[in-house]
Each structure stands twice: as C-alpha cells, then as structure tokens.
Amino acid sequence: MYFKLALRNVKKSFRDFLIYFITLAFSVCLFYMFNSFQEQQYVMQLTTAQTDIVESLSRIMSSLSIFVAVVLAFLILYANNFLIKRRKKELGVYTLLGMPKHQISRILVYETFLIGLLSLISGLIIGFFLSQLLTVVTAHLFEVQLNYTFVFSFKATIMTILSFTLIFVVIMIFNSFILNRYQLIDLLNADKKHEQLKIKNIWVSVLIFIISIICIGWAYYKGIHEGLLAIELLGPIILAGSIGTVLFFLSLAGFMLTILQNSKNLYFRNLHCFIVRQIHASVNSNFLSMSVVCIMLLLSIGALSCGINMSSILNKTIKFSTPYDYTYTNHMHYYDYEKDEFDLYTTSPLNIEKAIDDIHLDPSYIASKTIARTYMDKDLSTSNPVFIDHIKKQDIKDYFKNQIGFVEIVSLHDYNTARQAYGMDPIQLKDHEAYLYSNYEMVMDGVKEIISKHPEISVFDQKVKVVNDDFERVSLFTTVDNGSMEYMTLVVPDAIIPANAIIHDEYWNANLTDKITPEKFSTYFKDQMYKTYDVPEDIHRFLQEYYIMDKDNVYQSSKGLSVTFTYIGIYLGIVFMIASAVILALQQLSNADENKKRYLILNKIGTDQKMINRTIFLEIAVYFLLPLLLAIVHSIVGIQIVNNIMVMFGKGNIFVSALFTAGIIVLIYGSYFCVTYIGYKNILKS
C-alpha cells in the first residue's frame, strides 16, 4: 500500500520532482562519463606511453570523483530539502489523518528509492552514450585512430551505483530525521512562514555596498599587482574578496532599490515596482547563498577557462619545443650557494663528444647530429641592474632580486644551428655585438625594452652591445618545457667565449632516419649508455627523465597534459555550474510558493497573464544574472592573475576558452533557468 502511495505521489508531483530528477540524472551521467577513461584505451590505437597517460588520467578522475561525490551529495541533499519543504502541508495532512511518522517516513523512503532508481538508470543510459562521444573527443585530442565500437565501463558503472546508492541512503536517513523533528502545527502552517529581511534601512545598505566595493577593489588591485607568487598575501586577498562578495549581496537589494526609486519613470513603469520589491526581498533574505553561488560560479568559470586555455598553450608549444628528434643533455656545472662558486655535476660523463663515441651508436639510425652548449658568467646574473630595471611585473622582479639566476650565453654558431632547425635564416654579429632573446613570456616585454635602449652588457670581461631590434624564440634542444626555460639568453660571437668558460649544459641533438622512431631510439640510447657506463642505480630514473628526451615522448607528454587539463577543467567546471544553477532554481521555486498570493492579487486587479509571465521572467532572470555577472567580473580578474603564471608555458587562445565557457554557461545555466521559469509558472497555477 505504501509503495503504491509513493508511486502515485511521484506521478502526481512529477513537476515538483523535475529539478530534483534532472539534477540527479545529470550528476549520474557526469560521474559515469568521467570515470570511464580506463576502457577508452581499448578502442584507440595508443602507444605504450599514451596508454600510461590514459591510465594515469583515469586514476586522477577517480580520485577527483571523491571530491565531486561530496559536492553532489550536499547538492542533492539541498534539493531534497526543497522537496520536503514543498510537501510539509501534505505530510501534515497524513499526520492529521492518523498516519504514524514511521509510516510517513516509509513513504518518503519509497519515493526516494523510485526517484533515485529512475534517475540512476536514466543517467547511466545517457552517460553511456555521451561517453562514446567522449571517447571520440579523446582520440581526437591524442590525434590517434579510433577503432569505433561501443565502450562500456563496468568499473565506472559500479563506482557510480555505489556512490549514488550511498547518497540516497543518506537522504533517506535525513528525511526520517527531519520528519521526526517537525511538529504537526509546523507542517500545516509551512506556507505561512517567510524569510525575514536582514537589512531594513536603505541607507545602511548603501554604506555596506560601498564597503563591499572597497573590499573587492582592494582584492583586485593586490591580486593583479602582487600575483599568485605573493603567497603571504594570497590569504588576505581571498578573504577580502569573499567578504566583499558577501557584503555586496547583503547590501545590493537596498542599493538597487535606492537607485531605482529615484528614477520615477522606470520604477513606476508597468510592474517594475512589484518586481523590484520581489527581488529586494529575495536577495536580501538569501544573500549568503547567493554569495556562495557567486563563488562557485567563479570556480566553474575559472576551471573551464583555465583548463581549456592551458590545453591550448600546451598544444601550441609542442612544435616549438621539439626542433630535433632526439636530445641527450649533459649537465656540466651548477652553482653551489654555500661555496659561492660553480661546481661540477657527477651524474653524467663530463665530455659529451667522448660519451657519444664510447657508446657506439648505429650510424644508420642518425640522419644528422649537432652539439650545442650554454655558458655561464658569474657576473652576468638576472639580478643585474641592466636586466632588473626593465622588468615590469613586481613578482618577477622580486624573484630576480632574491634568486641567483644566470643569463645563458650561447655562441653564434650554436644559435644559428638552432635557427636552421626551425627553418630560419642565420643572423650576423660583428665583434662586440650581441643578440638578446627570451622564451619566457613573463619577461619578454622587459627584454624588448632592453633591446630598444641598446644597453651595453659586460660578458666575460668584455663589453658587448645588443643590436637586435626584435627577437624570434628559439630552443637549442628538444624539451618538454616551452623551449629553453631560462629567462634570458645572450648570443655572442664565438671569439668572445674564452676556452676556460664555464659550461652549464651540453646538448647532443639528432634527427633520425626512417629506420627507427624517436621513442625506440630513446630506449636503444639508454641501453647503450647503461652498458658502457657504470651508472649508479639511484640515478637511473634521474637520467631517464631529465637527461634524455625524444620528440615522441615530448609530444605524448604534452598531449597527455593537454587532455588532463581539459577534462579536469570541464569536470569541475560543470559540477560547480550545476551546483550553482540548482541552488538558484530551488530558491526561486521556494519563493513561488510564498509569492502565490501576491500574484493572485495581481490577477484579481486586472493584470493580464502575459504581463504576469513577463514579470516572472524578469524576476527570475535578474536573480540568476546577479551572481553570474559578479562571478564573471571576478573571473576576469582571477583568470588574468592565473594567466600571469601560465604564460611561462606560452600564450593560449583566450577567445576559444571564453567561447567554450560561454557555451557551457548557456547550456547548463540557461537550461536550469528555463526549467525554473516553467516550474515557477506551474506552481502559481496549481
């Protein structure tokens, strides 16, 4: 009997359950999709390295899903609490008719079970089909062929079922607990309870609004000028921004009311005064939740934009960072801070030419080979006033002042050899002339300013003058980084470099024949190295990861990082977007119950349904737009701050990331807005 009653309630009140059901199904779908990576490798022609990346990404997503599950659990509990509040009067009638609370609890358990089962099945089915699309996208991102067939992830299915079953069990317990707390009078008078305004004095609202703008403005200013590298200010910046956001929504309603009341033509046009009063009461009473929504939207926009932008950066830098098929790096000297002098590395052969001869590489594998060297001059560090005075960003300037970073010195011959690898024409330098460039986006403007002023630079006790008008970025070797990650590189004529100059690094670069791939040559090279030299076991991994680099490895690593950033950004971004939209939707639907009598009065005094619908639309639209607009402003500043760090890897396509983020906002946020609008009208009609 109770199960039938629960089934009838679900059918009868399906419109009330719609937001709840959509949220559950969407959450299940998302959870399954992003936990099904493990099986994708079986339909894609992946290399061993790519397979490892997919498996690693799968583990990351599984770990991340624990956090996502917690967020979704709180979200579902919030949505469930809305349903309980909506049905208080109905539950009160059950109690009035003599039904014990444990039997009412049983009905709620059955209802939760039915909704949960339906949403779980629907979400898994939708997730299964969308995961096929995700597989195609993954194959495209990795640029590999796809042996198309349907992929079913048993692991992701079990993980999804277990996670959401646990959430539903918690909801069942929560409903029983909440029901036992309510008295009959509370249930029957539920529709007579209203939120109380937090601030009634309009001028107090104006004052608080001004304070909020000051807090947010200070956070913006410090964030932009100090950046993320100023760790000691990060806490105060976040705190000021958060407090400013809370105060903003606490005071916004009163501030808007003051402004609009002074504009009589606008305020008294149509039903604007009614709408303003509705929004004033709603925002003033729900300021805290709107602040939370705003911060979650900031996290959503930030995750989506930064994830896509970082992916774009990595994809753009792949070609630049791989001028050769293969690079073996021989680290020669490092700076010993305690001794205040350069010292030798002991983890690799000290003569790269001898090392290459000793390991007896098969000449049929090598099409061409070169050796490049970088040198250091103790007196030529990045903290030199010549360089420091032209750095605009304070965080980088402070870094230069506090760290001993050396300007890399390269011979003209080695530099022109590198340019040749990129298909560039060689440059010419006269005696005591130099060429200055950087691969580090954060200091490029400073380097260009140095170039424009043509300063003289002392190197190896000789004066040289920078003569280039501009520069082209060049990497001397193949690397996973964005080319040579040194801040500045000075190219000088070969004759200026003394015979006893301190060699920082040596790079043996090779382009290979068709007989062997870079990936296979890397294995072959390491085997030959380990056979020839007695390499201690404890530095095997160090050698493998830092000394040896092939184009295939760089390409696959970059693609792997690109996919990882993309999917993590999308996963978290969508979760926070859904959470934000659900909270706003449920608050508006709750307000619909409370506002039913007010709209009924409007109808009785002759307001037509078209104008009422327009009023409802504007009320909901403003309520949805307010936290979104502030979140967009926050994110513009926040993304700029993050980009100041990300540019060390290169410049991405901000337009693409912004367009993608806007699409997600329209799709998810817009969908919940539409469902809320329809649900609001249905509640008023009921």
Q: Encode pLDDT of 510-529 as tens digits.
A: 999 999 988 888 888 888 87
Q: Which of 20, 150, 21, 138 is nearest to 85 (CA)?
A: 20
**Rounded CA separation 367/514 (Å):** 9
CB-side neighbour CA atoms (13 Å) of 165: 7
Q: Which of 299, 326, 240, 684 is nearest to 521 (CA)?
A: 326
pLDDT at 195: 47
Beta-carbon contacts of residue 625 (< 8 Å; ≥ 6 apart): none
Task: Name the phi and psi angles at 61, rounded to 5.
Answer: -65, -35
Q: What's the CA angle centered on 44, arms 40 and 45, to 5 degrees?
A: 145
Query: Cα–Cα distances in Å, from 672 out to 124, 579, 659?
Result: 21, 11, 20
CB-side neighbour CA atoms (13 Å) of 179: 27
Q: Are strands 456-459 and 333-336 parallel, antiparallel or unpaired?
A: unpaired
pLDDT at 530 over 50: yes
**Rounded CA separation 657/305 (Å):** 5
pLDDT at 417: 94
Confidence of residue 44 (pLDDT cuts 50, 70, 90): low
Per-residue burial over 201-239, b if 16 or more Cβ lie within 10 Å, else e, is eeeebbebbebbeebbeebbebbeebbeebeebeeebee
Confidence of residue 539 (pLDDT cuts 50, 70, 90): very low
What is the average pLDDT across 437-445? 76
Greater confidence (90 vs 605) lies with 605
> For residue 586, which amino acid is it?
L
What is the average pLDDT across 91-118? 72
What is the average pLDDT across 539-544? 47
Q: Which of 328, 333, 356 is nearest to 346 (CA)?
A: 333
Q: Which of 109, 117, 121, 119 is nearest to 9 (CA)?
A: 109
pLDDT at 542: 43
CB 492 within 8 A of CB 411: yes
What is the average pLDDT across 581-595? 81
pLDDT at 624: 92
**Rounded CA separation 224/222 (Å):** 6
pLDDT at 102: 67
Question: Which tokens belong to 673?
Answer: 């807005």
Instruction: For the chain, give every domain's residue range.
Output: 1-192, 321-533, 554-683
What is the average pLDDT across 569-593? 86
Q: Which of 435, 502, 445 is nearest to 474 (CA)?
A: 435
**Rounded CA separation 103/6 (Å):** 11
> For residue 239, which amino acid is it?
L
Q: Is the dihedral of CA 494, 500, 502, 507 positive or negative?
A: positive
Per-residue model confidence as pLDDT tens digits over 341-375: 777 765 555 678 888 888 889 999 999 999 999 99
pLDDT at 456 over 90: no
Whole-model pTM?
Answer: 0.77
Q: What's the CA angle centered on 256, arms 255 and 259, to 5 degrees?
A: 90
Q: Which of 105, 124, 114, 117 is nearest to 13 (CA)?
A: 114
Per-residue model confidence as pLDDT tens digits over 597-625: 777 777 777 777 888 888 888 888 888 99
**Rounded CA separation 377/458 (Å):** 10
Q: Which of 671, 680, 448, 652 is nearest to 587 (CA)?
A: 680
Least confident among 217-221, 228-232, 540-544: 540-544
In this structure, what is the dihedral angle of CA atoms 389, 392, 393, 397, given to the nearest 10 degrees?
A: 0
Per-residue model confidence as pLDDT tens digits over 652-675: 667 788 888 889 899 999 999 998
The DSSP H or E segment spanning 186 is helix 184-188
pLDDT at 632: 92
Beta-carbon contacts of residue 424 (< 8 Å; ≥ 6 apart): 472, 474
How many angstroms separate the most distant Cα atoms in the chain? Answer: 103
Per-residue model confidence as pLDDT tens digits over 61-72: 888 888 888 888
**Rounded CA separation 341/358 (Å):** 31
pLDDT at 686 over 80: no
Confidence of residue 181 (pLDDT cuts 50, 70, 90): low
Q: Which of 130, 115, 132, 128 is nearest to 156 (CA)?
A: 128
Q: CA 589 from chain center: how many Å? A: 31
